[in-house]
Structure 1
Amino acid sequence: MNPIHRAGTTPRYSDSTTHNGVVYCVEVPPDDSAAIAEQTRAMLASLETLLEQAGSGKERLLMATLYLTDMADYDVVNAVWDAWVPAGTAPSRACVQVVRLAKPGWRVEIAVQAALRD
């Protein structure tokens, strides 16, 4: 049987969930008043910590889905993303525009899946 492990669990969500060799994480901006580049940098830093704590890392990303409230932010988000992802390890990725996110100041949200280290 493959157990499910949850970390940072609240009544509504877990910071990360691992199952069958894969970790699942979602990050939102910690500061909803920050500019898009800072929102993205802060989320990626937090995501990196979550991945490491789960026994994975950004170089082990399998899939990422980015949700933007405005596609005008696409180039800025990509610049931050490209600087964060180690060369040669880019995951499959989708980027979609949404009408809004859960908090009015959030301009980006990221969901990822990554392989655990052996």
Structure 2
Amino acid sequence: MSEKVTRIDPGPRLSEASVYGDRMYLSGMIPEDTSLDIAGQVRQALAEIDALLARGGSDRSRILSAVIWLADIADFAALNAVWDAWVVPGQTPARATVQARLNDPRMKVEIMVVAAR
């Protein structure tokens, strides 16, 4: 029998996170306040990641990989300034950052991570 999959805040379309064995798979985290600048939006998304990781028994030092979508790649340096202050030195995950059209034109960033528990 395989291990149980646990879903955090499951909805009709997606769960905020899925936990399987020693891994957590988070959905893309977005800012709640889209009136903020890129730094504020990144901080909000990272705070959502912190909270969700804690609920699943993990934390930012255990993030294995991250995918970041920016509405405008010109925000790359501002994203990195917030990201660099947030990640745990020596525990930085594998990461990809790309420009993409996000589902709300006011949204500047979406971040998805996979973490160990």
Residue of structure 1 equivalent to 2:8: 7
* 2:31 is the alignment partner of 1:29: yes
| Structure 2 unpaired stretches of 5+ | none
Task: Say how many residue pairs are matched.
Answer: 115
Partners in 2 of 1:27 and 1:37 — Cα distance?
A: 14
Q: Give the whole-Å Cα distance in 2 for the aligned partners of 1:23 and 1:14.
A: 12
Paired AA for residue 40 in structure 2: E
In the other structure, the counterpart of 1:58 is: 60
User: How much does 1:20 deviate?
Assistant: 2.5
List gaps (5 residues or longer) in structure 1.
Answer: none
What TM-score, normalized to structure 2?
Answer: 0.95
Shift of 1:29: 1.2
- Cα RMSD of the aligned pairs, angstroms, is 0.8
Q: For 2:91 and 2:15, how far apart are their aligned partners in 1?
A: 26
- TM normalised by structure 1 equals 0.94
* Residue 81, structure 1, aligned to residue 80, structure 2: no
- Matched-pair identity in %: 42
* Partner of residue 111, structure 2: 110
Report runs of 4+ in structure 1 exceeding 6 Å deviation: none
